[in-house]
Amino acid sequence: MTQLTQGRGRLRRWWSMWVVGGVDHDAILKQISEDSGWSGRYAFLVVISAMISLLGLLMPSVAVLIGAMLLSPLMMPIIGLGFGIATVDPREIRRSATALLVGAVLAIALSVVCVTLSPIQTITSEIAGRTRPTLFDLLVALLSAVAGAYALIRGRGGTVVGVAIAIALMPPLVVVGFGIATLNWTVFAGSLLLFLTNAITIALTAALVARLYGFGAHLSPQHTGWQLVLFFVALGLLSVPLGAALRQIAFEAVAQRQVRDTISDRFPDASRLGQLDIDYAATPIRIRAVVLTPQLDPSADRVLAADLRARLQRPIDVHVDQLHVDPEGDGVEAAQIARANSASQAADADRQQRAVASVALIAGVQPDAVTVDTDKRVLSTIASALPGLPIALYRLLEQRASRGAPGWTVRIIPPRDAVLPSLPIAAGVISDDALQVAAWSSRRDKRALLVNGGTREQRLAVAEGVDDRGGEAGAGVAGGPLRFIWSAEDAAATNPLGARAKEQAPGT
């Protein structure tokens, strides 16, 4: 016992002299204090990181998400919180916690607004991947926090940014906002748990590493005991839901394999399992399968349900659609091709329905008001009238609807009372945007525009500019400033030869 005590004493002296003694505690605390509080730079990085994360999640793109994580604006407030706990510094704890809380709220609020305005509100693979945290995520956060705190203490602060890639902080917050905007509380709860797991684990692990390196040396053993209790209690509480999630994921992986094997073993060797869907959230677990088989089995559902209940120890609801095929010919392959074509057609119909719904939502109309041309892949509708809304905004609505209907050409026709664009002239040049909007309006409404006011040359120039951009316009009458009005005649009849042939009255 005496030798063990002496060995511990020598190790403690060596650690204190050669490890703790080589750390500039004051300089590190000063650096953390400067970087962990609220500032304009910090707010700017939070906004940019949140926007990049949202784009990476919706695209989805791992490369874009890595770019967002490289900014890692939330990392330093969390590290600062950990060092504040290590030194029991109420001021640093308050500063870091405030910066972290305000930054998190800002990122979530920005995500909610952007997702609400976005036509794309689909749960992508990157979003789904941040809604089911497990014990593995806690371990990653713990080990990464050790690396980050060590790098900061040993004068390699730049490594903290790299560590932030492993422990994603901003993407889970953005997914929290996505869950709020789409009213999906499963997404909200899962991503919030992931963020809290990362933040709490980083802060408490950083506090323990800081204590090992001599920060808070003035504290009593009671303070050290309190810090250890806080660390293990927090990790223990987090481990409960994370362990349950890991257990469920492991069960699903095993169940998937056992269901496939059980169904395949029930039918002859020439059979094929064409499709398998398992709903683990249903009670009982719902299994739907399609089997291509040369021999139909009327009792398959009952036997499979009993067998899977015994294997999985869960209530099971099984239904297998059996498609009879000829084992001597190419019936199996033909059935598989037919099934694949049917699934493809169903997927196309689903995508078309979602595209129509997206266009209808943005245009402010019912889905049945959207005309679908499947041959030309065109969706068209007349937008709901909003009094006083400039026609240029209807063009923006069409552009937004096009992004929500990939593979389709979207045509939103503005209502008849939409406000036509004005014709500002700057340095003798007419705004190109106004000409583009006017040409778009003419094409969508299939009517010609007239240009009134200004001089004869100006009216002709504006009308020709609209024609050059694909619209129909003619020179109208003089009097007042330049302005657009709708022609009372059909566009084709009004402008058979172009703007130069359409002047209706001499100008001034």
Q: How is the chain split among helix, strand and coil, in percent rounded to 5?
A: 60, 10, 25
CB 294 within 8 Å of CB 325: yes
3-class state of residue 411 by DSSP: strand
Cis peptide before 327 (omega within 30 of 0): no
* Range from 152-161, 299-308, 381-390, 438-447 carrying the lowest mean pLDDT: 152-161
CB 340 within 8 Å of CB 275: no
pLDDT at site 490:
45
Q: Indicate left, alpha or beta for 77 from its phi (over 0: left) and psi (-120 to 50: alpha).
A: alpha
> Which segments of 323-453 does DSSP mark as H helices, in order?
331-363, 391-403, 432-445
Q: Is the pLDDT assigned to residue 493 strictly greater than 50? A: no
Q: How confident is the model at residue 506 (pLDDT cuts 50, 70, 90)?
A: very low
Rounded Cα–Cα distance for residues 105 and 369 (Å)? 39
Strand-by-strand arrangement of the 483-490 sheet:
473-475, 447-452, 483-490
Q: Is 229 exposed, middle or buried (0-12, 13-18, 19+ CB in 10 A)?
A: exposed
Rounded Cα–Cα distance for residues 47 and 200 (Å)? 22
Global pTM value: 0.58
Residues pairing with 277 in the sheet: 288
Q: How confident is the model at residue 167 (pLDDT cuts 50, 70, 90)?
A: low
Q: Is the pLDDT assigned to residue 347 strictly greater than 80? A: no
Dihedral sign of CA atoms 331, 337, 341, 342 in order: positive
Residue 15 DSSP one-character state: I
Q: Is the pLDDT assigned to residue 393 strictly greater than 50? A: yes
- Describe the crossing of helices 185-212 and 135-153 by its angle, rounded to 10 degrees: 40
Using a pLDDT cut of 70, give the percent of the chain over it.
82
CB 507 within 8 Å of CB 452: no
Rounded Cα–Cα distance for residues 57 and 171 (Å)? 8
Question: Which of 492, 495, 505 has its CA nearest to residue 473?
Answer: 495
* Range from 246-250, 335-339, 400-404, 441-445 carrying the lowest mean pLDDT: 335-339
Q: How confident is the model at residue 321 (pLDDT cuts 50, 70, 90)?
A: confident
pLDDT at site 43:
92
122-132 confidence digits (pLDDT tens): 888 888 888 88
**What six digits make up the tokens of 293?**
């088989």
CB 242 within 8 Å of CB 189: no
pLDDT at site 501:
34
Q: Average of pLDDT values for 368-389?
A: 78
Residue 466 DSSP one-character state: H
* Range from 91-105, 262-276, 412-426, 432-446 carrying the lowest mean pLDDT: 412-426
* Range from 289-293, 386-390, 440-444, 492-496 carrying the lowest mean pLDDT: 492-496
Q: Average of pLDDT values for 479-506?
A: 54
Rounded Cα–Cα distance for residues 168 and 180 (Å)? 19
Rounded Cα–Cα distance for residues 502 and 475 (Å)? 6
Q: How confident is the model at residue 335 (pLDDT cuts 50, 70, 90)?
A: low
Rounded Cα–Cα distance for residues 227 and 216 (Å)? 11
Residues 6 or more apart whose Cβ sits within 8 Å of residue 99: 36, 37, 38, 42, 77, 80
- Which of 10-24, 94-108, 157-171 reaches the highest mean pLDDT? 94-108
12-53 confidence digits (pLDDT tens): 665 565 556 567 778 888 888 888 888 889 999 999 999 999
3-class state of residue 291 by DSSP: strand
Residues pairing with 285 in the sheet: 316
More confident residue, 10 or 152: 152
Rounded Cα–Cα distance for residues 161 and 400 (Å)? 35
Q: Average of pLDDT values for 295-312?
A: 86
